[in-house]
Structure 1
Amino acid sequence: MVRDELDLIVRSSLGLRWSALGPFLGLHLGGGPVGYRGLVAPGVPDEEHPVMLRDKVVQLVEDTYGLNRYGHFTTTRDDRQRAVLDALAGLPLPEPCNN
Structure 2
Amino acid sequence: MFRYCEACGCQQCRCFGRAPDGECLSNCNFKKLQWYVDRGLGTIVSSGDEPLAVQLNFEPSHRPVLDEQYYIQNRDNICVVCGSKESLVRKNVVPHEYR
Output the TM-score relative to the length of structure 1. Answer: 0.27
More helix, by proportion:
1
More strand, by proportion:
2
Instruction: Tell which structure's C-alpha radius of gyration is larger.
Output: 1
Greater relative contact order (Cα 8 A, min sep 6): structure 1 or 2? 1
